Structure 1
Amino acid sequence: MADSTVKNTYVKQQITDAMLNLLRTNELKAISISHLVAAAEVSRISFYRNYTEKEDVLREYINTLILGWHVEYENSDKKSEEEMLGSLFAHFSKHGDFYLLLSQRNLFHLLKEVLKTLYGPKPEYPNFGAYVAAYFSYGLFGWIEEWFARGMQESAEDITILLKNRK
């Protein structure tokens, strides 16, 4: 069992690395599954064992990055909204090449899905709580998207100050 987990992790890493490399020179729609698995040096069966569509590879990678940040943040002594936002924008700055690639390839909506899952409204929230969560998650995404669209001109610290002074 452990051997199959290691093998599957290897396959997923190969597919992810190949996807990111191919995206640097190709639009997602121009990357076929055949092209992807050939670049990853894995079988089509391996792809479909792990993913339904190409976007799933990117969703999983975004989830890995954001959840990695989330765990790191939760284990820190930072607890204010400003500290959380500063930490998040530092994460985006650290992984800027990847997020800029998403932006350039018109795939930034995949990040919105992750942020909405993490910070957006949940079915069990009362109406007002759901509206506040929607406001926060979509507003946060708007700041992030616009920051990347403008070439990340401000540092993560500068963005944090702008967010803090938004009130």
Structure 2
Amino acid sequence: MAATEHSQKIKQDSQEFLITALLQLLKTKDFNDITITQVVKRAGVSRMAFYRNFETLDDILIAYIEPKINIGFENIINRVPQNQKLTALGNLFEEISDILKMAVNKHYEAIIQNIFDKNMTEFYDQTMDWSQFTAIQRKYWVKFMSAGVYAIWREWLISGQTENINDIHVLLADFQISTLTALRNETTN
């Protein structure tokens, strides 16, 4: 048992060293210019240690970023009253704004967008009543809203957050309500 705990600790340490090394390299380099060799050298671990923990450099970023975003969404889905969820989402966006800005500047935004999309799908699946809609309507409405919310959030962050966040919340709520109303009308006609 002690050997297993020791090997788990080594694996966890290797993961943390690799994450830290990649984040350090991202301070001065574009993600596309970083190699596995550079990361393992900076981390002080072997290539074998890298491949025991990750398959690609993307996987390192996912291991670092995904838990932060997942926890935020999980709290919103399970602990925030329905009428406060959009505001809570806006607060989460503000909290992780540095992560998005770095992703945009260092060219790994697709990783953030995929994590965001998975969480938005879970968010809408857990918080919406889909009984009046077809599976196709649900699927594509969620994709549409996820992409739209992400684009609005990204634009707001990248353009310097000059608009009031409450105005952004109202805009998102209006889009959500009007698109759902249009779908509902389509279903009843």
Query: Which TM-score bucket, shorter chain as reference?
Result: 0.7 to 0.9
Q: Among residues 4, 16, 20, which one is paired with 1:17 in the alignment?
A: 20
Q: Which residue of 2 aligns with 1:62?
A: 65
Q: Is the helix fraction higher in 1 or 2? A: 2
Higher alpha-carbon Rg = 2
Return the letter of the residue paired with 1:16: I
Q: Which residue of 2 aligns with 1:94?
A: 95
Distance change >3 Å, CA 24–CA 155, structure 1 → 2: farther
Alpha-carbon distance between aligned partners in 1 of 2:90 and 2:116, rounded to the nearest angstrom: 13
The runs of 5 or more residues in structure 1 that have no matched partner are none
Residue-by-residue CA offset, 1:43-91 (whole Å, 9 max, x unaligned): 21111111111111112222111111123223424223xx323222322
Return the letter of the residue paired with 2:20: D
Deviation at 1:165, TM superposition (A): 4.7
Alignment of 1:122-141 (within 5 A): 126-141=135-150
Alpha-carbon distance between aligned partners in 1 of 2:147 and 2:135, rounded to the nearest angstrom: 18
Q: Which residue of 2 aligns with 1:8?
A: 11
Distance change >3 Å, CA 116–CA 98, structure 1 → 2: closer
- Is 1:146 the counterpart of 2:149? The answer is no
Deviation at 1:9, TM superposition (A): 1.9
Distance change >3 Å, CA 45–CA 152, structure 1 → 2: farther
Distance change >3 Å, CA 112–CA 50, structure 1 → 2: same
TM-score (normalizing by structure 1) = 0.83
Structure 1, 145-154 or 26-35: larger mean CA deviation: 145-154
Aligned residues: 163
Contact 2:31 2:107 in 1 (8 A): no
- Is 1:104 the counterpart of 2:113? The answer is no
TM-score (normalizing by structure 2) = 0.74
The runs of 5 or more residues in structure 2 that have no matched partner are 126-133, 179-189
Deviation at 1:157, TM superposition (A): 4.3
Q: Which residue of 2 aligns with 1:53?
A: 56
RMSD (CA atoms)? 2.4
- Is 1:78 the counterpart of 2:66? The answer is no
Alpha-carbon distance between aligned partners in 2 of 1:87 and 1:13, rounded to the nearest angstrom: 29
Return the letter of the residue paired with 2:139: A
Contact 2:103 2:109 in 1 (8 A): yes
Q: Which residue of 1 aligns with 2:131?
A: none
